[in-house]
Amino acid sequence: MTCVEYLQNFIKSSELKVIDNNITNFNYIDKQSVTKNKKYVFIQSKHIGVCELIDEYFTLKTDEWDGITDKKVTRNLSLFDDSVKIVYEIKGKELKNERKD
């Protein structure tokens, strides 16, 4: 599985088209507008995943897939890391499918 295939478990196909367009056109969300208790799609280099702001120190908790180990990975990243780009806010109450693996 790839990180994009993993993301498809969470995001509706119509949202995937918007995400792809945002990445292609470098249309990123202003990091100052990211708020707690909302889920976002982020990219870092050639990697994509889901993240959420978890504290007042601008820490993002990620939910992503590591294609090398073929396992789910959770990391803490700084929102203001230059390599992290927020590309889409996931709308609605929750993700399409909350994975538990």
Q: What angle do CA 68, 15, 21 make, to 5 degrees?
A: 80
Cα 75 → chain centroid = 12
pLDDT, one tens digit per residue, over 62-97 is 999 988 899 999 999 999 999 999 999 998 644 555
Residue 101 pLDDT > 70, yes or no?
Answer: no
Q: Pseudo-torsion of CA 33, 37, 41, 47, nearest 10°?
A: 110
What pLDDT was estimated at residue 94? 46
To the nearest 10°, report the CA torsion of 72, 98, 20, 22: -110
Chain segment 10-25, per-residue pLDDT in tens: 888 888 899 999 999 9
Tell me, what's the pLDDT at 7?
Answer: 87
